[in-house]
Amino acid sequence: MLPDTLTAQQYFEGIRKGDTVLLSRAITLLESTLPAHRILANELLQLCLPYSGGSLRIGITGVPGVGKSTFIEKLGQLMVAEGKRLAVLAIDPSSRKTRGSILGDKTRMEALSQDKSVFIRPSPAGTALGGVGSATRETILVLEAAGYDYLFVETVGVGQSEVAVYGMTDIFLLLLIAGAGDELQGIKRGIMEMADIIAVNKADGDNVQRANATRMDFQRALHLFRASESGWTAAVTACSALTGEGLMEIRNMLSEYEIATRKSGYFTTKRQQQLVEWFDSGLQEQIINRFRSNPANAMVIERLRQQVVSGEQLPTPALSMLWTILSNKA
């Protein structure tokens, strides 16, 4: 339980001064669903808003085992060596049974987590749609107010999490495992279309040749896709988070993307689109919560749900009946 002894102003002042303890407590506040905490969180967000927007938000995805944590650690170390401050939001899958989460990214990024210019926040996905914590957008805003130059948002790599993270970051990086092109059959077209950079990881030792073959397969596959709205041509490269080979090239690609999209105006346009998506997703959540919190509505929903379970109704006609009943009530 969060202590209620701090005001929004006190949280804000601590965040601006670089107090990571208060920053962690503020993020916990953002993740809380208690009404009193939400009021305080909204006050804090308003204070942080004028100081947000100054970071480069980087979404990173890839199937489990691709080496995301090692990749983030090594790439992050390059940024820190340049004098930059880095924050990592590592979204961990939550158990659907216990709602528990492993939250092990700090142990997997041991060297990076010990650097004072780096802030790592393992965050459980919980029940949020898309496998992304519901307060992730708010956390990004607060981290920017804290002065972090780069924000990594690591997805769980399954389901709709990639789409959700794409909708809240500036650049999207898809990490793959070398395998002589076999991944082409397992990667969804939509994810490849979202990717601004595709990196084939673990290109080291005896795997270098396979990694380069995979890189070429993906390079050819990208020619089949329509041009990106950003005007940026997706880059495909091979790298090794183990040896560091190719990571500086990726670091330079990130800078090139930011420069190009800021110059074209796409960077600002995408940020504006993200705000609209944030509003729309919040609106949907608010409508559903308020709708279901009405006892009368809850009773109708439960009755129709039981009819679906018993086989009396199929879900689609049951939903149509639900809206008819509620429309008549209105």
Q: CB–CB of 152/119 below 8 Å?
A: no
Q: Alpha-carbon distance 131 to 29, whole Å?
A: 20
Q: What is the pLDDT of residues 10-53, one digit of tens each?
A: 999 999 999 999 999 999 999 888 889 999 999 999 999 999 99
CA angle 322, 277, 33 (to 5 degrees): 70
pLDDT of residue 330: 57
Structural domains of the chain sorted by starting position, each given as residue range(s) with its CATH number in brackets: 1-50 (1.20.5.170), 52-264 (3.40.50.300), 279-329 (no CATH)
Which whole-number Å values give the CA distances from 302 to 14, 314, 322, in the listed order? 46, 14, 10
CB 138 within 8 A of CB 31: no
What's the whole-number mean pLDDT along residues 281-309?
A: 86
How far is 151 from 153, CA to CA, in rounded Å?
6
pLDDT in tens, 242-264: 999 999 999 999 999 999 999 99
59-95 per-position pLDDT tens digit:
998 877 888 889 999 999 999 999 999 999 987 655 3
State how far the Cα of 12 lies from the Cα of 22, in Å rounded to an integer.
9
pLDDT of 141 strictly over 60: yes
Query: Which among 325, 307, 18, 290 is positioned nearest to 142, based on CA atoms?
Result: 18
